[in-house]
Chains A and B, each alone.
Chain A
Amino acid sequence: MADSTELLVNGDELITMGKFIGAGLACTGMGGAAIGVGLVVGNFLSGALRNPSASAGQTATMFIGIAFAEALGIFSFLVALLLMFM
């Protein structure tokens, strides 16, 4: 048990270390977003291959679904960027 109570790293470096670890953890959110986008597009494809003439009218809905699912991945990427560089 050491007698002295000083840290081995100083406060600034500890904060930077915490920021980098947090940025790496925040990137795991993008995995869920990728799965969500894949679900939307996969379901659209399986429906479109069964009923091609009806699929042309629903491409707009597919793009809206992609944007919603992707937005949350972008939020987590934004958190990672803000932690890394600010």
Chain B
Amino acid sequence: MAGSAESKFNIHPMDQFVIKPLFGDQSLVWYTYTNQAFWMTLCFLAVVFFFVFGTRHKSIVPGRFQASVEMIYSFVHSMVVDIAGREGLKYFPFIFSLFLLILAGNVLGLLPYSFTFTSHIAVTGFLALLVFISVTLLGFFKNGFKFLSLFWISSAPIALRPILLLIEVISYFVRPVSHSIRLAGNMMAGHAVIKVFAGFAGAMGLGAIAPIIAIMAVYGLEMLVVVIQAYVFTILTCVYLNDALHPGH
């Protein structure tokens, strides 16, 4: 497509997802400070700065910054109370931190030359597995073996219950898979599409105005998708938490 002699594309949209060490070219071991670690640190600092700096006056009538901080807090708070009930508020710090990590990671990945750490299945898979294991353990500790009534649907006819049991168990174990791939796939797909269009724009000379407009459109869609995916990850965590706290069909 770029007019080269070989039969492959000259566009490499997957190069932006490679993890490399930040300083120098050493080999990657578990303690190397990579670009992913740098962006995770940046997200953490951004979130801490936003919240600490925003509430430094602690005024009863909030100014602009404090009002935006309070809006985000009350948004996640009402989401947890709506879905998981008042008992779910005990787990509110975890859900809030999860929401802010994913939101900050996604949004900071929109900057040019940045690295979206939520596009790696290693990160989102770990977060989804964390949610899955903790919710299952919580269900067993809170409800004992009544937690298994999640799979035995007593409102269905007795002949159908074994088949429904199989379906429910399978769909319960597929939850971390879909939970993680949804976030990672959305982030990777959005950024890869932008890179592919950028490759087109590089090869077209004066006609590059068309891919540039397409990049602008996809970028706007990306801004919407980024916030929605962070919201969906968190609201699904609340739904799974509700299933653990109040199992029952």
Contact = CB atoms under 8 A, between A and B. Distances in A.
A36 to B, nearest CB: 14
Contacts of A67: 182, 228-229, 232
A34 interface: no
B8 A71 contact: no
B72 interface: no
Interface residues of B, number: 22
Contacts of A64: 232, 235-236
A13 interface: yes
Interface string A51-86: 000000000100110110011001101100100111
A78 B177 CA distance: 14
A24 to B, nearest CB: 14
A16 interface: yes
B2 interface: no
B7 A13 contact: yes
A81 B14 contact: yes
A63 B228 contact: yes
Interface in A8-57: 13, 16
10 contacts: A60-B82, A63-B231, A64-B235, A71-B185, A75-B185, A77-B189, A85-B12, A85-B13, A85-B14, A85-B192
Interface of A: 13, 16, 60, 63-64, 66-67, 70-71, 74-75, 77-78, 81, 84-86
**What are the nearest 10 A-B pairs in CB distance?**
A67-B232, A71-B182, A74-B185, A78-B185, A85-B14, A77-B189, A74-B186, A81-B192, A74-B189, A75-B185
